[in-house]
Structure 1
């Protein structure tokens, strides 16, 4: 699992951009209480799908 700031760092985007992405429809983020976490494997699948569209 990655936190939103960790995910942003991995993708090379700002913290604010990471939170915006995490809240977007279709992004594999989970809300656990007040935390938002992203499963590493689901993030990789999402990135792979996004690069197929290019």
Structure 2
């Protein structure tokens, strides 16, 4: 059975693609993007990768 590790990453709306591309190069897969705790236009990405 696969084992996973997870990370949450704050996203800057003007650099979302660059941030996700950088994490993706390290093997992280995007699971979900949700509004940040502060509301507004802040976003948080949840990512996972196999251990």
Instruction: Judge same fold: TM > 0.5, yes or no.
Output: no
> Scaled by the length of structure 2, what TM-score is found?
0.30
Structure showing the higher strand proportion among its residues: 2
Structure showing the higher helix proportion among its residues: 1
Using CA pairs under 8 Å that are at least 6 residues apart, name the structure with larger relative contact order, 1 or 2: 2
> Scaled by the length of structure 1, what TM-score is found?
0.29
Structure number with larger C-alpha Rg: 2
